[in-house]
């Protein structure tokens, strides 16, 4: 592979993995919060009326790297499944690899965290939340790579939203997004699912994702199952195809798999 192609490849993959924090936050917080509110939004008086905390965690895997994360949302004045102010924290990290200078394999690690505040509106058939706050992200490489702009630590603003709707019996539609000034990252996910007869909160369907930053744009399409009961918690899994396109026009295809776990208390 020539030097020019190496430069294109390393920038594309480094930029892609630099967005790990944005990707993980969107996957976990958006799906978990939307499902938690949706599954509690129509409930009669019961446990959901006293739960003010949503805990979530998960992981995302592609051929070039992995992410793991955990976080929480807290509703200080009302149940987490009802309208009211929100506080949120998130932390995650992972690893990635790409072809560096002269074909050398560069391994990178990153850690990220954010704190946000916002408000959510919940009705029996739909809900939405909007949050804003601060993100901190740090990247380290095991080999020098002056051509990689994604290195060191940065702090910036981050914003997130998620929404869900039940337009008909047995149908759940969700939309989640996350954007940050840290490396110009953004993430948008939409899904549609149909209730399964195996559990009152279990949905299966499709999802589409667009994510990127200043160096690349990636598209995902796949299948997803959400709301599977694991003890007192619920789980969501998704997998499918991804394609990424750097500014140079080079394209790369592959797969992705993701899982998230959430629990209200």
Q: What is the DSSP string of 91-154?
A: EEEEEEEEE-GGGPEEEEEEEEEEEEEEEEEE-SSEEEEEEEEEEEEEEEESS--TT----EEE
Residue 249 has pLDDT above 80, yes or no: no
Q: Which residues contact 47 (CB under 8 A, 6 or more apart)?
A: none
pLDDT, average across residues 230-258: 76
Task: Please tell me the distance from the alpha carbon of residue 14 to that of residue 59, in angstroms, as a whole number.
Answer: 19
Q: Are 104 and 143 in contact (CB under 8 A)?
A: yes
Grade residue 103 by pLDDT with cuts at 50, 70 and 90: confident
| Cβ–Cβ < 8 Å for 116, 133 | yes
Contact present, 171 and 4 (Cβ < 8 Å)? no
User: Dihedral, CA atoms, 18, 21, 22, 26, nearest 10 degrees?
Assistant: 150
Distance CA 109, CA 128 (A): 33
pLDDT at 199: 65
pLDDT of residue 254: 85
**CA gap 219, 25 in Å, rounded:** 17
Closest-CA residue to 13 (of 219, 180, 246): 246
Helix (H, G, I), strand (E, B) or coil at 3: helix
Residue range 88-116: average pLDDT? 87
Domains observed in the chain: 3-264 (2.40.160.40)
User: Is residue 14 predicted with pLDDT exceeding 80?
Assistant: no
Evaluate if residue 215 carries a pLDDT over 90.
no
CA 222: distance to chain centroid? 15
Rounded mean pLDDT of the chain? 80
> How many Cβ atoms from other residues are within 10 Å of residue 109's Cβ?
15
């Amino acid at each position: 592979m020539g030097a020019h192609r190496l430069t294109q490849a390393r920038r594309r993959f480094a930029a892609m993995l630099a967005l790990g924090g944005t990707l993980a936050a969107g996957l976990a917080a958006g799906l978990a919060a939307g499902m938690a509110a949706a599954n509690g939004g129509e409930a009669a008086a019961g446990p959901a009326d006293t739960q003010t905390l949503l805990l979530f965690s998960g992981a995302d895997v592609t051929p070039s790297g992995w992410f793991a994360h955990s976080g929480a949302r807290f509703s200080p004045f009302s149940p987490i499944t009802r309208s009211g102010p929100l506080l949120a924290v998130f932390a995650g990290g992972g690893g990635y690899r790409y072809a560096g200078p002269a074909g050398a394999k560069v391994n990178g690690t990153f850690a990220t965290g954010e704190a946000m505040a916002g408000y959510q509106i919940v009705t029996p058939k739909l809900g939405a939340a909007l949050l804003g706050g601060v993100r901190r992200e740090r990247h380290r490489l095991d080999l020098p790579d002056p051509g990689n702009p994604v290195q060191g630590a940065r702090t910036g603003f981050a914003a997130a939203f998620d929404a869900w709707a039940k337009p008909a019996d047995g149908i759940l539609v969700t939309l989640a997004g996350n954007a940050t000034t840290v490396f110009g990252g953004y993430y948008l996910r939409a899904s549609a699912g149909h209730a399964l007869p195996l559990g009152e909160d279990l949905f299966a369907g499709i999802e589409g994702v667009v994510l990127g930053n200043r160096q690349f744009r990636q598209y995902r399409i796949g299948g997803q199952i959400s709301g599977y009961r694991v003890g007192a918690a619920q789980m969501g899994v998704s997998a499918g195809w991804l394609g990424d396109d750097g500014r140079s026009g080079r394209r790369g295809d592959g797969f992705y798999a993701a899982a998230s776990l959430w629990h209200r208390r």
